[in-house]
Structure 1
Amino acid sequence: MDLRPQSGDRLQAGRLHRSYDVVWVLLGLGPPVIAVSDQPDATKYGSLALLAVLALCYATVRKASPYTFLCVLVLVLGAMSYELGGGAAMFIVSLPHFWILARSPRHAIAFSGAAAAFTLVGGTVRRGWDAEFLTGNVVSTLIGYAAGVLLGLWMHRVLGQRDERARRLSAELETTRLRLAEAYQRQGAAEERERLAREIHDTLAQGFASIIVLAEASRAGIGDDPGRSARQLLSIERTARENLAEARVLVGAAPQSGVAAGSVARTLRRTLDRFTEDTGLAVNADLPDIECDQQTRIALLRCTQESLANVRKHAAATTVGVVLARHPDGVELEITDDGRGFVPGPSQGFGLDGMRKRLAELGGELTVTSSLGDGTRLLAVIPTNDQV
């Protein structure tokens, strides 16, 4: 295992390495410089030259070519041990280099073992096998090497366990991320299907239902009232064109919304005029020209279209009332009819549920009040942008 710092620990490891650099310079290079100061010139200048080469390699090639520096370090430790008659202290202080720079414990053990051997050989060649050397540098070097190997292997195990935990955690996080991405994708697909279903119901389905009703009425009255049948056929053509435009919006071949820009009052007025023309029902409308954004205008139009479609299909009403108003809290749209009414329940059909969800997306709400024989009142409330 590579004992060099991983990405998550680089900052902390960098601080530790810089601290060790200071210790190594002070305790690894400093004492030999002091020790050779009173030696003969040949020994002094030779030792200083070796230390200078080591310091230069440390500054220039340690990061770019760590094994080159370790080879130089092994040779200099042996040479300094020869020059000083022993180099156990410098060897022990330099041991962390082998574990920091080597790419595996095997390489660290090999390099530090070579450094211990060169240190022992250098001192032995210089001093021979006297008792002081054996009990001092030799024992210290061997103990230092053994302790360095044990400590290095222990650190390797600790770091290995940490890295293994980090890998497992990373794998778990990646698995969780993928699951979340899949969940978001499924949720997005479900929301898109729901949006398309709502748009199709509010536009194409309502248009086709209107076309069917008008076609049946036109066919029934084509002999008795050709003029009315002609108007109904014209309304069928107009509705079909609108459905075609809405279909292009749904498949992305036209700008989104499918609703031309303009005043919400004029937009609702055109819808109500079409409803009166197609059904013959009386519509009492109070539509002041209020300002609202495009999304609010579309929501109000879709609520009006759905409500009128329900009146046409289910209410058997004679009169419809539509009131648009602006209040401090937002915009309100009230649609009433004098039809047969119904008993509101938890599930009131896709149309009402679609209206609620459309309004909820804008922070609004829908209230439906009805009872059998007393007609129906629908109130849509959409807060203005500064109230959302």
Structure 2
Amino acid sequence: MGLETALWRAVAVYRFVSLLYAGVMIFKNFDKYEHPLGGWAVLGVMTVWTGYATYAYSDERRRGWPLLAVDLTVATGCLLATAWVEDSERLRAGEPTLPVSWVAAAVLAWAVVGGKRLGMTAALVLGSAGIGVHVLVGTENITSGNTLNGIVLLFMAGLVVGHVVKLARDAEARLARAVELESATRERERLARQIHDSVLQVLAMVQKRGGELGGEAAELGRLAGQQEAALRALIGTGLGAPPPVRTRSAAAAGEPVDLRPVLAGHSSTTVTVSTPATPVLLSEHAAGELGSAVAAALDNVRRHGGEGTRAWVFLEDGPGPGEVTVSVRDDGPGMEPGRLAQAAADGRLGVAQSIQGRVRDLGGTVSIVSAPGEGTEIEMTVPSSS
């Protein structure tokens, strides 16, 4: 039984118990009413609505504004009918209204649907109706006796129940998230075993045989070795596992994602990726753009660095608070001064657009340091809130 079902069953039980109490009070006092038949009529309305409301609220598709509005209207009407049915002197002396605590069921329903704000809104409407009953019969001191106590209890019910419902829903969402994470971890471990028993072994064999055969086979073996190293890194850290499906509560727009898995995918025999032990959170858009900028930088290393050029990707805190820095360094031949400016002038905008343009659009900065024979370092810094 889920949380929603349990909550609505509790409200239904309260409706029936409070209806029974109201029925006992009406049976006890009907001979003192100015209009006794009116008391039985109000009890009949309460009984019919209790049965229908229990049925209607049992289906999530019907728990919308029309049902909530009718529920509150029926409760308000039964409350106001007290001014016509009950003896005015008895009301002024502090006698309770006809539905007594039954009207609080509408407050509970509003609180379960919309939290404490809607719960207190319903309490305000019913509290105003309760005051209206005493205004109609000419009660001099409305704030004394059962009237004020009943209104305070209604507000407390709306506030407390609404807040508890919100806490319970948050706890349920966190539990669902934990279950999903555990399921994803188990699936990752299962896939890791299968990959280790099949793909990794084949790649290792291709790398070994390619090195033995030489020629084009050696290049094939080298590529197989890179893919083997990348797969081992992803399996070992768990960063390659697909994210679990988000729950309805967690699927908020713009939810931050961890940048580490994005960068870890670039790891190979020639590329070393170093990231912190704790998550580095960015918006999904920013993480994707920064990952694409790193991919462009590594592509330049492969194209211009030559055989055996190594690269290192570092993820760390930026120089200022609330900043993230990603550095791509290589031990390639480096660049002559002014080479990037000349490339941009010639219409070759790989660095200017793929790297600098992306980071600039995120509100960040790019620093490129290079010299002939000393490799190249590209440092990209973006706000962590981007």
Normalising by structure 2, report the TM-score: 0.41
Larger radius of gyration: 1
Q: Which protein has the bigger helix share?
A: 1
Normalising by structure 1, report the TM-score: 0.41
